[in-house]
Amino acid sequence: MEVHEKCRTVTVKNIPAGLYDHLKKVARSNRRSISSEIIVCLERALNRRQSPVEEAVEQARQIRGMTS
């Protein structure tokens, strides 16, 4: 996230207790607040999603790298 971006606020309701406890544990181990940990999780999940074409191109690059 760039520094000059305007941040938005999101409220998440009804988080299952087990999920919240796990999030809290992971945040603590990463020395982050729960809010910061949620942002990291969202960024990773959303950046990981690629289109099928992008996935195929990435797989082809990996295979080509293994055979070069």
Q: Give the whole-angstrom CA distance, residue 25 versus residue 21.
A: 6
Secondary element (H or E) of residue 61: helix 52-67
Q: Determine the pLDDT at residue 44.
A: 85
Q: Looking at the whole model, is its pTM more than 0.95?
A: no
**What percentage of the chain has pLDDT greater than the value 70?**
88
Helices 34-48/17-29 angle, 10° precision: 100
pLDDT tens-digit series, residues 24-54: 999 999 999 999 999 999 988 887 766 677 7
Q: Determine the pLDDT at residue 27.
A: 94
